[in-house]
Amino acid sequence: MNAAEFVQHTTIRIETEIPNGISTGTGFFLSLKNNKEDHTHVPVIVTNKHVVKNAIRGKLRFSIKDSEGNPINGQYFDLIIDNFESVWIKHPENDVDLCILPIANILREIQKASKDLFYTMLTVEDIPSKNEMEMEFSRIEDITVVGYPDGIWDAYNNMPITRRGITATPIQMNFENKPRFLIDAAIYGGSSGSPVFVFNQGSYSKPDGGLYAGTRLKLVGVVYAVAQHKVTGELEIVDIPAAKTPIANTLIPNNLGVVIHAKKLLDFEKILYKVN
């Protein structure tokens, strides 16, 4: 599997039943607490808190693989979870809109039903360190966003939508002194929880101006909001409305997505150590 195929299978569509209808969002697979010595880890799905807020029931659609390990087009497994919001572990900081769902037990139960699932999983090693941020990435980078904007997807093949853009503020900095940065990309309802990658194939440049051969794939953030402005001119950060949920919008969109730094995902490793 090449890097592009890997990226497209890291996400999962999240559909929730809420008091006023149905909404959709994006989740992605991440491996935490990876112990190379005893070959253990904690597989989780990552999304935003507001994606699962007030969710009475949730549906996760997994792809099915064949005996050779390849996804089978048109075949999938729908997992329905009641009391959906309650099963997620939320980030303890109020202004960090992230939560995780540990899925080890879920995967075991699905396997008991003789379903062999297909997905690809990111690890904490895919998150650039502070030193990498400073030495390997420029202040303006191409980015790739994978998810389900407006709930749009390839339902038959269970595939997400991939979009491109650039960083609008440096990923080395905290925008407005909060753990987030802006991207110049079209972000719509259903994009909440989408992973944001610096993804270069064939070649890429570094801050020194040199051109390097190879492929670079790093998870740099998670989409959670859009930056819009009022008719009076003030900038406002607004949670991305869930797809299929009608809202009254009096703000003017400007194609700026707001992204939580991927380093905040590392906080969940500490939380999981306390839980276990």
Confidence (pLDDT) at 247: 45
Residue 73: pLDDT over 50: yes
DSSP for 113-151? TT--EE---EEGGGSPPHHHHHHH--SS-EEEEEE-GGG
The residue with greater pLDDT, 210 or 136, is 136
Residue 157: pLDDT over 90: yes
Confidence (pLDDT) at 243: 53
Mean local confidence (pLDDT), 35-52: 90
Q: Where are the beta strands (DSSP E) in the chain?
A: 11-18, 21-35, 40-47, 57-65, 71-82, 89-90, 99-102, 117-118, 122-123, 142-147, 161-167, 180-184, 195-200, 203-205, 211-213, 216-229, 235-239, 252-261
Residue 164: pLDDT over 50: yes
* Distance between CA atoms of residues 97 and 80, nearest Å: 23
Longest CA–CA span in the chain (Å) reads 59
Which of 79-83, 111-115, 227-231 has the largest mean confidence? Answer: 79-83
Confidence (pLDDT) at 248: 45
Please say whether the beta carbons of 254 and 174 come within 8 A.
no
Confidence (pLDDT) at 219: 98
Average pLDDT over the chain reads 88
Domains in the chain, CATH or no CATH each: 3-275 (2.40.10.120)
pLDDT category of residue 192 using cuts at 50, 70 and 90: very high
* Distance between CA atoms of residues 58 and 61, nearest Å: 10
Confidence (pLDDT) at 227: 73
255 burial via Cβ count (<10 Å: 0-12, 13-18, 19+): middle
- Percent of the chain scoring above 70 in pLDDT: 89
Residue 229: pLDDT over 70: no
Confidence (pLDDT) at 252: 53
Q: Which of 37-46, 70-79, 103-112, 222-231 has the lowest mean pLDDT?
A: 222-231
- The pTM assigned to this predicted structure is 0.90
Residue 125: pLDDT over 70: yes
Mean local confidence (pLDDT), 227-242: 58
Mean local confidence (pLDDT), 36-62: 92
Confidence (pLDDT) at 246: 46
Confidence (pLDDT) at 121: 96
Mean local confidence (pLDDT), 225-229: 72
Residue 58: pLDDT over 90: yes
